[in-house]
Amino acid sequence: MPAKVNKEECTGCGTCVDECPVEAIVIDEDEGCAVVDEDECVECGACEEACPNEAITIEQPE
């Protein structure tokens, strides 16, 4: 499943944007937090590992 952003935890720091190898994440200026393009996300986990606020998760299929 693509990465999910917890908007309450995300501070919009942009660390995930810098780490995403496929440029699937942008910072929404209106909301002030990260937004993942689910069609572009390759579920690599780079953003999840990089997020200093633990605001991004990638659920593994059961």
Pick the CATH number of 4-57 from 1.20.810.10, 3.80.10.10, 3.30.70.3340, 3.30.70.20: 3.30.70.20
pLDDT in tens, the chain (62 residues): 899 999 999 999 999 999 999 999 999 999 999 999 999 999 999 999 999 999 999 987 77
Contact 26, 16 (CB under 8 A): no
How remote is the C-alpha of 35 from its chain's centroid? 6
pTM of the model: 0.90
| Domain boundaries defined on the chain | 4-57
Q: Specify the pLDDT at position 45.
A: 96
Q: Specify the pLDDT at position 60.
A: 74
